[in-house]
Amino acid sequence: MRILDNDLTNIKNIQFKIDKDFVRAENVKYIWSELFRQAWQEFSRRQPVPVLDVWKRENHPINEISESIEGMIAIKKIFRQNSNFYDSQDHWEIRLADIVGTILHRYQNRGVCEHIAKKVLGNLGGEKNNYMHLILADVH
């Protein structure tokens, strides 16, 4: 995360944007949100998000959107209040995630795109098979 002019208040605007192409029926959006929250919770149990010393200050903005429990960040509020489904054509972040996901999927499953996948994985601090790859069947 890059912080300009030491302005930390924008961290309160963090969101999880999910491509609504994956969820066609309105009545299953809550189920998908909860499934996503639980998947992240399980993943972060194995690989916790570290709590930076600067976050421990009472007045730090991260404390308004999360809790620190036993030295780990609990971001339940973000999932419940700041996650939603959006149209990818209106949100560049979703299109970028699709591109990265496609590259990693092709590298993981077909052994292609190796050069760019290794660059992406290097920035994620991981290796092949060291990232969450979640595929869910469409619900009708």
Q: Are 129 and 136 in contact (CB under 8 A)?
A: no
**Residue 128: pLDDT above 60?**
no
Report which residue type is found at 127. E
**Phi, psi for 19 (deg, rounded to 5):** -65, 120
Element (H, E) at 68: strand 67-69
Sort strands 67-69 and 72-74 into parallel, antiparallel or unpaired: antiparallel
DSSP H/E element including 74: strand 72-74
First to last CA, the chain: 38
One-letter amino acid at 19 equals D
The three-state secondary structure class of 137 is coil
pLDDT digits (tens, 9 = 90+) for 89-113: 999 989 988 888 888 888 888 889 8
Give the pLDDT score at 3.
45
Q: What is the pLDDT of residue 139?
A: 39
Element containing residue 34 per DSSP (H, E): helix 29-46
pLDDT at site 36 = 80
| pLDDT digit string, tens, across residues 65-81 | 777 766 667 777 777 77
Q: What is the per-residue pLDDT across 9-58, written as a single tens digit (0 to 9) for each? A: 777 788 888 888 877 777 777 787 788 878 887 877 787 777 777 777 77
Tokens of 59: 């007045």
Residue with tokens 């469409």, as numbered in its chain:
138
